[in-house]
Amino acid sequence: MSEALLEVRDLEVYFPIKKGVLKKTTGNVKAVNGLNLSVNKGETLGIVGESGCGKSTLARTILGLEKPTSGDILIEGESILNYSAKQMHRLRRDVQMVFQDPFTSLNPRMKVSEIIAAPLKAYKMTDNIEQRVKELMDLVGLKPEYHDRLPHEFSGGQRQRIGIARAIALKPKLIVCDEPVSALDVSVQAQVINLFEDLQKELDLTYVFIAHDLSVIKHIADKVSVMYLGKMMERSDSESFYNHAQHPYTNALLSAIPLPDPGKEKTRERIVLKGELPSPANPPTGCVFHTRCPIARDYCKENTPQLERKGNEEHEVACFFPIEKGMVEAGSENLLR
Amino acid sequence: MFKNKRNLLAAGVLLLIIVATITASLWLKFPPTHIDPEARLLSPSGKNWFGTDHFGRDIFGLTIVAARVTLFVGVVVALLSTVLGTITGLIAGYYKKAEFIIMRIIDGMLAFPALLLALALVAALGGNVTNIIIALTFAFWPVMTRIVRSAVLQVNNIQYIEAAKTTGTGDLVILFRYILPNVLSPIIVQGTFIFAKAILAEAALSFLGVGIDPSTPTWGTMLQESQVYITIAPWFSIFPGVAIVITVLALNMLGDGLRDAFDPHKKNQKKSTKKLFRNRKQKYA
Amino acid sequence: MLEVKNLKVHLDTASGIVKAVDGVSFHVKAGETVGIVGESGSGKSVLAHSLMQLNPVPPATYPQGEIIFENRNLLDLKEKELRKIRGNEIAMIFQDPMSSLNPVFKIGNQLMEAIRTHQSMSRQNAEEKALELLKDVGIPDPKSRLNDYPHQFSGGMRQRVLIAIALACQPKLLIADEPTTALDVTIQAQILELMKDIQKKYGTAIIIITHDLGVVAQLADRVLVMYSGRIVEEGITGDIFYHTSMPYTWSLLRSLPRLDSDIHQRLKSIQGQPPNLVDPPKGCNFSPRCPFVTEQCLEVDPSLVDRGNGHRAACILSESEYEERKHEIQDIEREGVEQ
Ligand SMILES: Nc1ncnc2c1ncn2[C@@H]1O[C@H](COP(=O)(O)OP(=O)(O)OP(=O)(O)O)[C@@H](O)[C@H]1O
Ligand SMILES: Nc1ncnc2c1ncn2[C@@H]1O[C@H](COP(=O)(O)OP(=O)(O)OP(=O)(O)O)[C@@H](O)[C@H]1O
Ligand SMILES: [Mg+2]
Ligand SMILES: [Mg+2]
């Protein structure tokens, strides 16, 4: 696996919970709790999970904005955790981020051209900077005439394009996208998703693409990882993933997404999970999903499943009793209430 | 913001006072140095609009000229406190390590009432314009530090700061290009209030006799000198007093006006596409 | 039961008059579920709020229209009469479950208060009713949770409590404004199931507002598609999805990322941005983005035309012209892919 551009090994990121006047640490929010992943050059890794499962924390840690409690992050085979400030600065050129909220991720007092030029200036690439900014704007589908407007003069989708232009300005190798289309309107989402795909082809980019919606991921990702309470539940190439998801949680996620097709909706069998997401400060013992799992057994409460290959080569599941193909569609008794 | 009549009035009054005091020597009939023993403590009349003082000086002229030092002290104190407070506030808000030290010092200073602190300092340093400015700046900048720091903490949490960091932007650029412009509004508003407070404090110190040397005319020293004559020549006290009230009122009105003008909630801003996703964070908090 | 006739709601803002609802007519029959879909800013919330006169005045004004609920025009009623209807005959749940509950009162008290505002009932009975409601909306261990405060509930649980409060007086109509948008998909699935159960049990008519066509497909009997303050297509759910007759609905359906598509399938995005409601484009509001656009569209503002079976669409193209154009577009796209 020498070709992996990004590798994350046994990553743990904990936030201390401080209580009382003395700010004593009474526990930890285990935002990321033992996570492994790797992304090859030119690939898109989709990461899905519910709110609070640690997706943003993972993204921020990869970007060096959060210090991991333990574990390692490697870029092109080199650990970045002990990088000096100077090395970090150099690394930042290669790893960029696109943020979820197009309204807060742009400085309201800077012109579009300044926002897009900021990374270029930070790396003293000031030759032809105006020309470069105009090219970038053109590339992401913004009219270069708008270069001296302020962010509030743009719509959400256009702002997200500005954010994307800023991220690609330095020709990075990896872009971490933290729910880049979640805040956008339905009619604009497709434009931005297509833009990501086009840029990938044109600039040979690698994406870590975070979303909470498996249908968005289906249109963009080559590989998919499912997170739950800071852990990886299932990972696979998209083909095998959407063809036969094995983890009960993944199946629940898939069946929770409403299809814009009333006919299919009427006849569809679905797993409706009971209960709520447990607190990451106090995750359940054993398999973290057992409290909501429709097929959990006593065994799952005491033993923690590891990611393991089941069947297909690239397809790994952290479950003792993975779901067999066709079980959900058939409305298998023990799966559905 | 000047569409609002109140703001326009406040700004107009201030401008008038400033222009009047700067150009005073060009148009005043009786320069305040003009002593006339014959005309002591005259009540207001067509000739001496505000009456005269115990040396027979024209109080109108005196009040106008006194504004010079008074406003000078106010402006300089406001500027110095703003600069000092902004720098310390920016540092304290941005660097976690410096925060602890700076904020403990500030908390210590804020434990004393500002006027008392200034009083003690002037008593120690001696009363002249420079020392008054030093003392008042010392008394007022901690408030500014506090305000700037909390504004910085807020802005620092907004994603565009993080975005700037990920694009490799340096700390200094982030502080001055990203954070400062976005915390400028509370700074300007607070600066106006410090201006007003400094005028009041200068008057109070001078009135107590620890302020500026009585031979330098300021509204404070005028009040102090007039004390003795308050029953026989009330106009001697009233006019500098009214000048202080008007100026302070105008400054406070201007400050409020600025605050409203900067407040995004009062402006009709474009509604965000999906404010709802911002709430998702809080859900499990 | 509810009939809205040519309703206009204008919002007077600093940047001009926002025509948030611009001549909307529709009806809701007893016991049916009507879905209102549209993108952000299309006026869904303003419309929903105007049904209960909950838009802040100013900026809102109602220059035209009628809202007939059980033979009364709600626009003519006095505030006092309206209050009797709100919560009692028409109830509403909002998008944001966090700010819709009062943080300083216990859940039980808020529920009991809702019950006792419209029905005279002893405390004892009200508490029993509250318990029953909490059980109905699927809150586990309702007895002990009566004494909890809102902050002890998660987002999904709060939305359940809000539904319980809305159901307290067995309203004839429940308006749900994006009830699941702020929730996770698994929680959304729970709430949608709950709404179906509730409808079966109580026979309440529901207006569900959302931007998610999937939610509508799952829940609604009839659908209204809104675009820039107007209804552009209306019909039974099957017709809207399978016999779409309005270019906006058609484009929207094609642009959705969907689970039943192929992997890496390219989305067919709609060009451009939603129009400005202060100064809408001349002619058809959708014309600047419409792939079907003809010269006439830039001049003529289409009204809803009946296509049979209660299916209405706002497009000047006739059915055959529309189909022809649709095939043309698809052919062009196919050629583009082959090249
Ligand atoms: N700086 C922080 N201090 C303390 N706790 C934090 C911090 N950042 C995140 N958390 C907690 O860590 C957990 C994971 O948060 P994270 O933002 O990574 O979730 P997420 O998957 O991105 O969710 P969302 O879909 O809402 O964006 C949450 O419980 C959150 O409250
Ligand atoms: N109080 C208000 N003052 C001024 N304009 C408003 C106000 N409320 C809504 N608007 C405007 O009215 C239009 C319709 O808004 P509305 O909230 O109904 O949209 P929506 O379809 O519910 O969108 P969303 O999906 O974002 O909830 C928008 O252009 C919005 O900016
Ligand atoms: Mg996140
Ligand atoms: Mg709305």
- Site to probe by mutation for ligand 2, drawn from C7, C46, C54, C211 as the one with most ligand atoms within 8 Å of Cβ, is C46
Q: Does residue A12 register a pLDDT over 90?
A: yes
**Comparing C-alpha atoms, which of C156, C141, C66, C73 is closest to residue C108?**
C141
Measured torsion, CA atoms of residues C188, C191, C195, C196, in degrees rounded to the nearest 10: 70
- Which helix (H) or strand (E) segment holds residue A62: the answer is helix A55-62
Quote the pLDDT of residue C339: 63
Bin C203: left if φ > 0, else alpha if -120 < ψ < 50, else beta. left
**Comparing C-alpha atoms, which of C1, C60, C48 is closest to residue C24?**
C48
Residue pLDDT, tens place only, A222-261 = 999 999 999 999 999 999 999 889 999 999 999 999 999 9
B27 vs C328, higher pLDDT: C328
Q: Order of strands, edge to edge, in the sheet holding A223-228?
A: A95-98, A174-178, A206-211, A44-48, A223-228, A231-237, A316-317, A308-309
Average pLDDT for residues B264-278, to the nearest whole number? 40
Residue pLDDT, tens place only, A93-128 = 999 999 988 889 999 989 999 999 999 999 988 888
CATH number of A4-94+172-317: 3.40.50.300
- Closest chain A residue to B277 measured between Cα atoms? A183
Work out the angle between the directed axes of helices A129-139 and A112-122 (0-180°, nearest 10).
Answer: 120
- Please give the interface size between A and B, counted as residue pairs whose CB atoms are below 8 Å apart: 92
Query: From the CA of A52, which ligand is nearest?
Result: 1
Strand duo C90-93 + C173-177: pairing? parallel
Cα Dmax for chain A:
67
**pLDDT more than 90, % of chain C:** 24
Which of A186, A257, A275 lies at the smallest CB-CB distance from C259?
A257
Average pLDDT for residues C279-283, to the nearest whole number? 84
**Top-confidence range, A35-44, B254-263, C163-172:** A35-44
DSSP character at residue A92: H
- DSSP assignment of A247-295 equals SHHHHHHHHHSPPS-HHHHHH---PPPPS-PPPTTSPPSSSTTTTT-TT
Q: Which two tokens stand for residue C30?
A: 């007893």
| Contacts with A, C 20-39, CB within 8 Å | 39
Q: Which two tokens stand for residue A294?
A: 């429709």
Strand duo C312-313 + C305-306: pairing? antiparallel
Distance CA C213, CA C142 (A): 33
- Min distance B5 CA to chain A CA atoms (Å): 28
**Comparing C-alpha atoms, which of B257, B219, B180, B255 is closest to residue B62?**
B219
Contact of A210 with C182, CB cutoff 8 Å: no
Q: Which residues contact B277 (CB under 8 A, 6 or more apart)?
A: A100, A101, A182, A183, C182
Name C234's bridge partners: C224, C312
Contact of B207 with A158, CB cutoff 8 Å: no
B268: chain C residues, CB-CB within 8 Å: 13-15
DSSP character at residue B177: I
Average of per-residue pLDDT values in chain A:
89
Contact of A290 with A284, CB cutoff 8 Å: yes
Q: Is the dihedral of CA A60, A63, A69, A75 positive or negative?
A: positive
Q: Which segments of chain A are extended strands (E)? A: 4-19, 24-40, 44-48, 70-75, 78-79, 95-98, 174-178, 206-211, 223-228, 231-237, 308-309, 316-317
Distance CA A333, CA A62 (A): 42
Average of per-residue pLDDT values in chain C:
87
Residue pLDDT, tens place only, A263-279 = 988 888 888 888 888 88
**Comparing C-alpha atoms, which of A204, A175, A168, A155 is closest to residue A42?**
A204
Quote the pLDDT of residue A330: 67
Chains that touch C (3 or more CB pairs under 8 A): A, B
Asked if C178's CB is within 8 angstroms of B276's CB, the reply is yes
Which of B160, B277, B283 lies at the smallest CB-CB distance from A106?
B160
**Lookup result for tokens 């898939």:** A254
Q: How far is CA C216 from CA A156, A172, A252, A262, in A?
A: 24, 41, 20, 8
The complex's ipTM works out to 0.85
C94: chain B residues, CB-CB within 8 Å: none
Q: How far is CA B225 from CA A17, B43, B160, B233, in A?
A: 61, 17, 56, 12
- Which helix (H) or strand (E) segment holds residue A159: the answer is helix A156-168
Q: Is the dihedral of CA A85, A86, A89, A90 positive or negative?
A: negative
**pLDDT more than 70, % of chain A:** 96
Average of per-residue pLDDT values in chain B:
83
Q: If you measure from the C-alpha of residue C229 to the centroid of ligand 2, how many angstroms do you get, rounded to a whole number?
A: 10
**Lookup result for tokens 């009692």:** C88
Which of B167, B182, B277 lies at the smallest CB-CB distance from A119?
B167
| Contacts with A, C 252-271, CB within 8 Å | 252-253, 255-261, 263-271
Q: Does residue B170 register a pLDDT over 90?
A: no
Distance CA A105, CA C288 (A): 29
Q: How far is CA A173 from CA A54, A133, A167, B170, C92, in A?
A: 24, 19, 11, 21, 49
Residues whose Cβ atom is located within 5 A of ion ligand 4: C 45
pLDDT-derived band at B275 (thresholds 50, 70, 90) equals: very low
Q: Average the pLDDT over each of A7-16, B193-202, B225-234, B261-270 and give the range with the smallest value.
A: B261-270
Q: Does residue C74 register a pLDDT over 80?
A: yes
Phi and psi at residue C19, in whole multiples of 5°?
-85, 75
Quote the pLDDT of residue A337: 42
Asked if C264's CB is within 8 angstroms of A258's CB, the reply is no
Q: How far is CA A95 from CA A92, B149, B165, in A?
A: 5, 31, 12
DSSP character at residue C284: -
Contact of C228 with C43, CB cutoff 8 Å: yes
C255 vs C117, higher pLDDT: C255
- Chain B touched by A63 (CB under 8 Å): yes
Contact of B180 with B87, CB cutoff 8 Å: no
Q: Does residue B278 register a pLDDT over 80?
A: no
Measured torsion, CA atoms of residues B11, B16, B19, B21, in degrees rounded to the nearest 10: -120
Q: Does residue B128 register a pLDDT over 50?
A: yes
Distance CA B145, CA B86 (A): 6
- Chain A touched by C147 (CB under 8 Å): no
Quote the pLDDT of residue A124: 86
Q: If you measure from the C-alpha of residue A201 to the centroid of ligand 1, how many angstroms do you get, rounded to a whole number?
A: 32
Measured torsion, CA atoms of residues A171, A174, A178, A182, in degrees rounded to the nearest 10: 70
**Lookup result for tokens 């200036």:** A121
Q: Does residue B2 register a pLDDT over 80?
A: no
- Which helix (H) or strand (E) segment holds residue B71: the answer is helix B59-94
Q: Does residue A164 register a pLDDT over 90?
A: yes
Please tell me the pTM assigned to this model: 0.84
pLDDT-derived band at B264 (thresholds 50, 70, 90) equals: low
Distance CA A334, CA B19 (A): 87
Which of B159, B273, B278 lies at the smallest CB-CB distance from A156?
B273
Asked if A51's CB is within 8 angstroms of B166's CB, the reply is no
Which of A186, A197, A242 lies at the smallest CB-CB distance from C256?
A186
B278: chain A residues, CB-CB within 8 Å: 101, 104
Neighbours of A299 (CB within 10 A): 13
Ligand 1 contact via A61 beta carbon (within 6 Å): no
**pLDDT more than 70, % of chain C:** 99
Q: Does residue B210 register a pLDDT over 90?
A: no
Phi and psi at residue C224, in whole multiples of 5°?
-115, 125
Q: Does residue C236 register a pLDDT over 80?
A: yes
Work out the angle between the directed axes of helices A186-203 and C247-255 (0-180°, nearest 10).
Answer: 50
Mutate to test the interface with B, among C46, C159, C177, C181 (most CBs of B within 10 A): C181
The alpha carbons of chain B give a radius of gyration, in whole angstroms, of 23
Q: Does residue B269 register a pLDDT over 60?
A: no
- Which residues approach ligand 2 with their CB closer than 6 A? B 271; C 11, 13, 18, 20, 38, 40-46, 56, 59, 211, 277
Q: Which two tokens stand for residue C36?
A: 């209102």
Distance CA B76, CA B80 (A): 6
The structural domains of chain C, with segments of one domain joined by +, span: 100-168, 246-338
Quote the pLDDT of residue A229: 92
Architecture of the structural domain at B5-284: Orthogonal Bundle (1.10)
Asked if A276's CB is within 8 angstroms of C156's CB, the reply is yes
Quote the pLDDT of residue B227: 83
**pLDDT more than 90, % of chain B:** 28
Quote the pLDDT of residue B94: 92
Contact of A302 with A285, CB cutoff 8 Å: yes
A215: chain C residues, CB-CB within 8 Å: 256-259, 261
Burial C221-255 (b: 16+ CB within 10 A, else e): bbbbbbbbbbbbbbbbbbbbbeebbbbbbbbbbbb
Q: Does residue B271 register a pLDDT over 60?
A: no
Angle at C239 between CA C235 and CA C244, to 5 degrees: 100
- Which helix (H) or strand (E) segment holds residue C17: the answer is strand C16-28
Neighbours of A335 (CB within 10 A): 19
Q: Which two tokens stand for residue B220?
A: 């404070």
Quote the pLDDT of residue A335: 58
- Which helix (H) or strand (E) segment holds residue C208: the answer is strand C205-210
pLDDT-derived band at B1 (thresholds 50, 70, 90) equals: low
Neighbours of A99 (CB within 10 A): 26
Distance CA A259, CA C109 (A): 38
Quote the pLDDT of residue C144: 83
B130 vs C154, higher pLDDT: B130
